[in-house]
Chain A
Amino acid sequence: MTDSNQLLRLQIDSQLSNTTLVAMAVRGVCAMTTLSPVEINRLELCLVEIVNNAIEHAYGNEAGHPVEICIGLDKNSMNISVSDWGSSIPSDVIDSQEPEEINPDHPEAWLCSGRGLHIVNKLMDDVSYETDEGKNSFIMSKALRY
């Protein structure tokens, strides 16, 4: 059991190779919880997807910019925010919840990108996105069971 309201704040430079650093950090925090191995893998996936988005879309894959990750634990949930100071995600992209239709007979329709947010929306219990004075934050939470 963890104490309530514990918070870990991390910052990486906007390079895709740095996502492993925060992925390992979140796995470490997950080890303090009752999350199952499958849930930990999924949480790692969600974090990486959102950090990738910040680097690739907010900063256009340009190194030298900050990406801040806050991992909070309380009695009931694990809360993760990923923040950048680049271009914000358009609201129509955030609001898009349409699941991808898979048709094996139409290769031309198979997507090679754009699944990240759908995965996160599917796996996390709650997600939100906010922009405040140039700081964009994607916030997601996962309920913990004790």
Chain B
Amino acid sequence: MAFETREEGTYTVVLVDESRLDASIAESFKVFLFDQIDSGKNKIVVDLSQIRFMDSSGLGALVAGLKKTSGSGLFSLASAQPAVKDLFDLTSMDKLFSLHDSVADAVQGD
């Protein structure tokens, strides 16, 4: 399965076990995220460490997750590789998302 979850304290860590988060899997990733949120998991960290390439569709799925949790939970990202960080910078999405260097950083203080 391309998407996996594990619990770390009160956080749910979602690992995207793919090298590319692109339009071919963005919709299924969004559905997976929504399923997690709808099942009551409202503190989510998305582990991006495996993703070498992300397009605007992949980014859109993350924005959808962030929107869905806004006001009622936490949604942050961890371990983005350089090309992924560049996409966030290019689109100014770094203003919306909390980007952490590691999952450990993201759940710190829990």
Contact = CB atoms under 8 A, between A and B. Distances in A.
Interface of A: 15-17, 19-20, 23, 38, 41-42, 44-45, 48-49, 52, 55-56, 100, 102, 104, 107-108, 110-116, 118-119, 122-123
B79 to A, nearest CB: 17
B54 to A, nearest CB: 8
Given A16-B23, A19-B23, A111-B60, A49 B55 contact: yes
B93 A102 contact: yes
Contacts, number: 80
Contact of A16 (B24, B61, B87): B24
Interface string B66-103: 11001100000000001100110011110110000000
B: interface residue count bin? 20 to 34
Majority SS of interface residues in chain A? helix
A38 B59 CA distance: 18
B64 interface: yes
B67 A110 contact: yes
B32 interface: no
A114 B63 CA distance: 12
A114 B59 CA distance: 11
Given A100-B92, A116-B56, A123-B90, 14 more contacts: A16-B24, A19-B23, A20-B24, A41-B86, A42-B90, A45-B83, A49-B55, A102-B93, A110-B63, A112-B60, A113-B60, A115-B60, A116-B57, A119-B87
